[in-house]
Homo-oligomer: A and B are copies of this chain.
Amino acid sequence: MKDINTETKILEAARTVFISKGMDGARMQEIADEAGINKALLHYYYRSKDQLFRAVFQSVFAGFFQAIKGELDKETPIEQKAETIVMQYTNMLDANPFVPQFLINEINRNPQTLRDVMDSQQFNPSVFLEIFGNNNKSGIDPRQFIVSIIGMMVFPYAARNLVQLIYFNDNIEAYTQFLQERKEFLKQTILKMIQ
C-alpha cells in the first residue's frame, strides 16, 4: 500500500470500506483514512461517492464471477466438477467472506446497477447453466441445482455471526473447523443430489 499510485490505493480502500459497510453505511472520511490520504483527493479522482461506488461494484462483480467460473467449462466427469466447484468457491469465500452479501445487498438497493454492469462487461450468464446442464443423467433442473449449491456455500459466510453465536457459542475456532469440515460435507451432498 505504499508505492502504488493513488488511484489504485483509493480503489482498494473504497473496496474494503464499501464491502464492510455498504453504500449507505460507508463514509468518505473512512475511505480516505483507510487509503492514508485526504478526503478531497477522493473527489479529485472520482467525482462523487456514487461514482467511486460504481467503480468498486464493477470491480468486485467482475472478480467474483471470474473466480467461480474458473475451470468449469472443461470436459470433466460430474464428480470431478463437484469437487472443483466446492473448492474454488470456498477458497474464494475464505478470501472474501463478505463479497456475496455485499453484491446481494447492493443489487437489492439498486437493481439497475447490475444491469449496467452486465451490459458494459458483456457478461453472459448462460455459462453457469451449461455447467451441469450437459452431462446430467438425473433429470435434475440445473437452475434449482445451482441455486441450491450457491445457497449452501454462501449462507454460513453471510450469516456467520448469527450461526456462530447460535450454534457455537461464539467459539471462533469451532466455527472455523465447521467451515473446514463443510467442504467434504458439501461434496458428498452434491453427489447425493445428482444420484
Contacts and interface: CB of A to CB of B under 8 A. Distances in A.
Interface string A16-49: 0000011011000000000000000000000000
Q: How many copies does the complex hold?
A: 2
A158 B189 CA distance: 22
Contacts of A147: 152, 155-156, 163, 167, 182
Q: Majority SS of interface residues in chain A?
A: helix
Q: Which of A100, A108, A178 has the most CB of B within 10 A?
A: A108
A139 to B, nearest CB: 11
Nearest to A144: B185
A189 to B, nearest CB: 6
Contacts of A114: 161-162, 165
20 contacts: A24-B24, A103-B162, A104-B158, A107-B159, A107-B161, A118-B165, A125-B166, A125-B167, A129-B167, A141-B181, A144-B178, A144-B181, A144-B185, A147-B155, A148-B155, A148-B186, A151-B153, A152-B152, A192-B192, A192-B193
Interface of A: 21-22, 24-25, 98, 100-101, 103-105, 107-109, 111, 114-115, 118, 125, 128-129, 141, 143-144, 147-148, 150-156, 158-163, 165-167, 178, 181-182, 185-186, 189, 192-193, 195
